[in-house]
Amino acid sequence: MARDFRRELTIARYLLKQKLLRRKRYPLVLMLEPLFRCNLACGGCGKIAHPDSVLDQRLSVEDCLAAVDECGAPIVAVVGGEPLIHRDIDKIVRGIIARKKFVNFCTNALLLKKKLHLFAPSPYFTWSVHLDGLKEAHDKAVELSGAFDIAVEAIREARARGFNVNVNATIFEGMAAERVAAFLDFAKSLDVGVSISPGYAYERAPDQEHFLSRRRTKTLFRRIFELGKGKNWPLLHTGLYLDFLAGNRQYACTPWGMPTRNVFGWQKPCYLLDEGHAKTYADLMETTDWERYGTGKHEKCANCMAHCGYEPTAVDAAIRHPLSNLWRTWRGPRTEGPMAPELAIRPRGAPNPAE
Ligand code: SF4
Ligand code: SF4
């Protein structure tokens, strides 16, 4: 699939503007959750574990577009739950695109073929299909036999109709590096980009055993990247974030980089960790004690290396050190040698060596 440089240029311009304005905290991706209800029930999911009274709630078209305007991030990830269940989802997407924001539409694809006609291909619109590995691994992760085949058929149909399509994969404990590598080979053959992130152990998720510790994450990703040398997998991350996953960088989390708006309001501090909600984006930014969060700062962040917290850190580093990012993107992550030291748990208020 041809890379969309319009998107990259827009984002680069946005980032440079934030730097010129000397903004310390700014959003990169708005995580818009118009609902928590889903048509799957994956064991590792912290979103569907809400009671029915919450699962039945929806953000309106107006709520969603107000959130997009309020936040100002150049990218909007429409997430959930399963957003295709929302009966006004096509209107929400059209409204976001009309604002010239780039939409990543995350879906498990069970309804994708049926609802494809509601959407139109656009450089501002990308399907991001949830696929946690090849057939056996994905069907097991989403606890539905046949889910992989449905998703792959929908991906092919969407590509045939001219849509941009990516897949997003969560990597859990017990996944063999060889299986992940085979999955990335398969994604390349589908002509789609891949977003990949280690799973986060949601407190509410019923299955707590299958999440990776940071040490295991780094070792596993090193092995995966070793297997990928020379394969040019279509990974959609900065070279620096991939190098971080391979244990070579000591990054602090940037929880404000991907703020989350859902039926409760603006979630503090990030998409994964629910520590209360603010009424407005401005309140979120002003009233969240950002210093409390991230690895080394908060016990619930101890094992997190998730894309939503650490990719914004890598993007910021890439702006400050573009050659380093280009070099890592070209060469791939380092897969041998000593790893960067872990961030130690620090007393509150103590300086963070990685900042
Ligand atoms: S598809 Fe996504 S939202 Fe739905 S249950 Fe699975 S992880 Fe949760
Ligand atoms: S480390 Fe960052 S992204 Fe991960 S749970 Fe903590 S605040 Fe959220």
Tens digits of residue pLDDT in 322-353: 999 999 999 999 999 999 988 765 555 555 54
Domains of the chain, residue spans: 5-331
| pLDDT of res. 353 | 47
Ligand 1 centroid distance, CA of 249 (Å): 30
Beta strands 260-262 and 265-269 are antiparallel
Name residues of the chain where pLDDT drops below 50. Answer: 353-355
| pLDDT of res. 276 | 96
Ligand 1 centroid distance, CA of 46 (Å): 8
What value, to the nearest 5°, has the Cα angle with vertex 97 and ends 63 and 264? Answer: 25
Cα(254)–Cα(67) distance, integer angstroms: 20
Say which CATH topology domain 5-331 has: TIM Barrel (3.20.20)
Quick check: 34 and 89 in contact, CB under 8 A?
yes
> Which atom of ligand 2 is closest in space to residue 294's alpha carbon?
1
Q: Please state, in angstroms and as integers, the Cα–Cα distance from residue 212 to each residue in 136, 138, 139, 284, following that order.
A: 20, 17, 20, 29
End-to-end C-alpha distance for the chain, whole angstroms: 36
Indicate the SS3 state at residue 115. Answer: helix
pTM (predicted TM-score): 0.92
| pLDDT of res. 202 | 59
Ligand 2 is surrounded, with C-beta below 6 A, by 253, 255, 269-270, 272-273, 293-295, 301, 304, 306, 308-309
- Ligand 1 and 82: CB distance under 6 A: yes
Name the burial class of residue 55, with classes exposed (0-12), middle (13-18) and buried (19+) by CB atoms within 10 angstroms of its CB: middle
- Ligand 1 and 142: CB distance under 6 A: yes
Q: Across the chain, where does the E strand assignment appear? A: 29-32, 75-78, 102-107, 125-130, 164-171, 193-198, 260-262, 265-269, 274-278
Question: Given 3-state DSSP classes, what are the helix, strand and coil percentages for the chain, each rounded to the nearest 5?
Answer: 40, 15, 45
Ligand 2 centroid distance, CA of 98 (Å): 31
- Ligand 1 and 318: CB distance under 6 A: no
